[in-house]
């Protein structure tokens, strides 16, 4: 009973310190079947391969050589009701219409191998491949106004496929007769980014003093839709360090720190500019003029190379686990993520191809422009609680719950980074041991509070809209399957 009271006190303390918690920003929570079954409350247990992520010190708890893998299968389902206008006028967005993101079932395979080596007495070494950050969103939210241009814009208008995979070497060692365990993981990070967006640029003829020229930018030709697509990859380095300490025979505590990383990404870009189609006005200009180019319904296609950097945040986490009985284990974790360190993307373009005539200065100025995607997030906390119960010598049931404080601010909310209000997750799992084999499954349901983004903002003053005004709803479903072999 003393151990249970101490566990309850620690749980209350963490709840008071961390306001809430489960996968804000672009954090990926499909790591480890046992951990997922317990809602992510695993940092003070960390006794399987996923300790490489949850707490590298946990490798010291694994007594056998070990090979394991899991696959996370998930489906992100969101809806948006847009409300975007050009100075109060309809813009081409599907205002007032409930739009779903692209329906897609995704899967992420991961795994590790580890062994105990006679180094410094005995040290556990392992190599793991795991996806630590992920975002996958695709939306079709816009169609050209027919009187402007009838050309079709690609369906992946607002698209973000962001993956960060860690190729991590982990080492852990015990001290004080294994009462204390320390571990560190060093990672080579691969970042893949496929990012599309649609922006509305000012027509470069808007401010002309010549009334005939200024008419080229009369409504609805005052804005020019630009769709762009960036596809690239890059590499960086990361690390995480952990500690496990046995307070008593029944209570473990764990602390984990993950370092900030920066990944330089480069690749290829494509742009499409949908220029106005106004034949009656075009008749006032010669066929060879730049003005005619802006009035003949042209879809200008340009390509370029791009570079950007992608910064991932620091995080610090702590957990406590209590072996309440021989069969029942309780655990609670808290994590604080410094999401303010992620400030979005600055896309820098070079080696353009496809520009119109060199004499078309306004067109080239419109198309020869770097793009900034600002993201202003706040640091956020998350808390997770879980339990596991041994039914018998070969089967174990698991359950967990998590609450996740959102990192978002509405000034830079875009559909490529869906991080709605506070999220609640519910998890169930089961593990079966057959000889040296372990088979596990866990499933989670994540519910988001609705989010209303009522106002359009130009956060960085570049003349472009930096958020997406809409009413959002969302739910996620995730299942993780795992198999391991100890030898």
The pLDDT tens digits for 247-269 are 999 999 999 999 999 999 999 99
Report the distance separating Cα 392 and Cα 406, nearest Å: 39
Kindly report whether the peptide bond that precedes residue 322 is cis, defined as omega within 30 degrees of 0. Answer: no
- Lowest model confidence (mean pLDDT) among 118-122, 400-404, 437-441: 118-122
Cβ of 331: how many Cβ atoms within 10 Å?
A: 28
Per-residue tokens: 311: 């910064």
The three-state (H, E, C) secondary structure of 382-436, written as one string: EEEEEEEEECCCCEEEEEEEEEECCCCCHHHCCCCCCCCCCEEEEEEEEEEEECC
Percent of the chain at pLDDT > 70 equals: 94
Q: For position 142, what pLDDT does the model report?
A: 96
Q: For position 17, what pLDDT does the model report?
A: 35
Give the pLDDT confidence of 321-335 residue by residue, as tens digits.
999 999 999 999 999
- Give the 3-state secondary structure of residue 35: helix
Classify strands 66-82 and 470-486 as parallel, antiparallel or unpaired. Answer: antiparallel
CA nearest neighbour of 27 among 309, 295, 425 = 425
The stretch 165-183 carries a mean pLDDT of 95
**Strand runs labelled E in 63-179:** 66-82, 85-86, 89-90, 99-100, 105-117, 123-139, 158-175
- Lowest model confidence (mean pLDDT) among 20-34, 92-106, 254-268, 355-369: 20-34
pLDDT at 342 over 50: yes
Q: For position 15, what pLDDT does the model report?
A: 39
Instruction: Give the residue, 398 or 105, on which the prediction is more confident.
Output: 398
The stretch 167-192 carries a mean pLDDT of 96
297 with 277: CB under 8 angstroms? yes
pLDDT at 306 over 60: yes
pLDDT at 3 over 90: no
CA nearest neighbour of 423 among 16, 15, 17, 22 = 22
pLDDT classification of 286: cutoffs 50, 70, 90: low
CA nearest neighbour of 430 among 40, 31, 22, 36 = 36
Structure-derived torsion over alpha carbons of residues 81, 468, 343, 232, reported in degrees to the nearest 10:
80
Report the distance separating Cα 70 and Cα 59, nearest Å: 17
The stretch 345-354 carries a mean pLDDT of 97
CA nearest neighbour of 390 among 426, 427, 431, 428 = 431
Percent of the chain at pLDDT > 90 equals: 70
- What is the enclosing helix (H) or strand (E) of 248? none
Q: For position 184, what pLDDT does the model report?
A: 98
DSSP, res 114? E
The three-state (H, E, C) secondary structure of 339-364, written as one string: HHHCCEEEEEEEEEECCCCCCCHHHH
The three-state (H, E, C) secondary structure of 124-144, written as one string: EEEEEEEEEEEEEEEECCECC
- Give the 3-state secondary structure of residue 20: coil
* pTM of the shown model: 0.89
pLDDT classification of 24: cutoffs 50, 70, 90: low
Across the chain, mean pLDDT equals 90
Q: Where are the domains of the chain?
A: 2-486
Backbone angles phi, psi at 18, to 5 degrees: -105, 120
Report the distance separating Cα 459 and Cα 389, nearest Å: 50
Q: Which residues are paired to 457 by β-bridges? A: none
**CATH 3.50.50.60 given to domain 2-486:** no
Q: For position 476, what pLDDT does the model report?
A: 84
Q: For position 22, what pLDDT does the model report?
A: 33
Q: For position 87, what pLDDT does the model report?
A: 77
> What does each C-alpha distance from 14 to 88, 317, 325, 327 come to in angstroms?
47, 11, 23, 25
Greatest distance between any 2 Cα atoms in the chain: 90
């Amino acid at each position: 009973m003393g151990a249970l009271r101490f566990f309850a006190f620690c749980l209350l303390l963490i709840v008071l310190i961390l306001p809430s918690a489960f996968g804000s920003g672009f954090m990926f929570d499909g790591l480890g079947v046992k951990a997922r079954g317990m809602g992510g409350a695993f940092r003070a247990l960390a006794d399987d391969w996923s300790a490489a992520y949850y707490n590298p010190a946990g490798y010291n708890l694994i007594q056998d050589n070990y090979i394991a893998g899991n696959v996370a299968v998930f489906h992100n389902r969101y809806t948006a009701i847009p409300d975007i206008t050009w100075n109060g006028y309809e813009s081409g967005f599907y205002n007032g219409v409930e739009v779903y993101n692209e329906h897609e079932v995704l899967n992420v395979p991961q795994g590790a191998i580890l062994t105990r080596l006679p180094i410094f007495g005995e040290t556990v070494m392992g190599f793991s491949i795991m996806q630590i950050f992920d975002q996958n969103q695709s939306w079709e939210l816009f169609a050209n106004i027919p009187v402007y241009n009838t050309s079709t814009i690609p369906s992946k208008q607002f698209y973000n496929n962001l993956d960060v995979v860690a190729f991590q070497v982990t080492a852990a060692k015990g001290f004080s007769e294994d009462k204390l365990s320390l571990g560190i993981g060093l990672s080579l990070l691969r970042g893949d980014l496929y990012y599309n967006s649609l922006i509305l640029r000012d027509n470069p003829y808007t401010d002309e003093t010549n009334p005939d020229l200024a008419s080229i930018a009369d409504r609805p030709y005052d804005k020019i839709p630009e769709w762009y697509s960036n596809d690239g990859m890059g590499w960086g380095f990361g690390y995480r360090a952990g500690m496990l300490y046995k307070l008593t025979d029944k209570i473990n505590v764990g602390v984990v720190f993950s370092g900030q990383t920066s990944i330089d990404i480069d690749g290829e870009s494509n742009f499409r500019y949908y220029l106005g189609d106004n034949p009656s006005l075009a008749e006032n200009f010669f066929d060879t003029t730049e003005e005619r180019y802006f009035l003949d319904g042209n879809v200008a296609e340009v390509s370029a190379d791009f570079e950007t950097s992608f910064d991932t945040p620091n995080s610090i986490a702590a957990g406590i686990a209590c072996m309440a009985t021989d069969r029942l284990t309780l655990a609670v974790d808290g994590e604080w993520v410094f999401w303010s360190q992620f400030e979005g993307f600055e896309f820098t373009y070079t080696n353009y191809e496809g520009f119109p005539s060199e004499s078309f200065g306004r067109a080239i100025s419109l198309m020869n422009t770097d793009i900034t995607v600002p993201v202003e997030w706040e640091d956020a906390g998350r808390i997770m609680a879980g339990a596991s119960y041994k039914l018998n010598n070969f089967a174990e049931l698991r359950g967990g719950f998590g609450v996740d404080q959102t990192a978002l601010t509405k000034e830079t909310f875009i559909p490529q980074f869906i991080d709605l209000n506070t999220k609640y997750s519910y998890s169930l799992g089961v593990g079966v041991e057959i000889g040296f084999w372990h088979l596990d499954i866990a499933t989670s349901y994540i519910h988001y509070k609705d989010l209303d983004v009522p106002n359009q903002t130009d956060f960085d003053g570049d003349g472009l809209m930096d958020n997406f005004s809409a009413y959002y709803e969302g739910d996620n479903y995730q299942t993780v399957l795992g198999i391991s072999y100890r030898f």
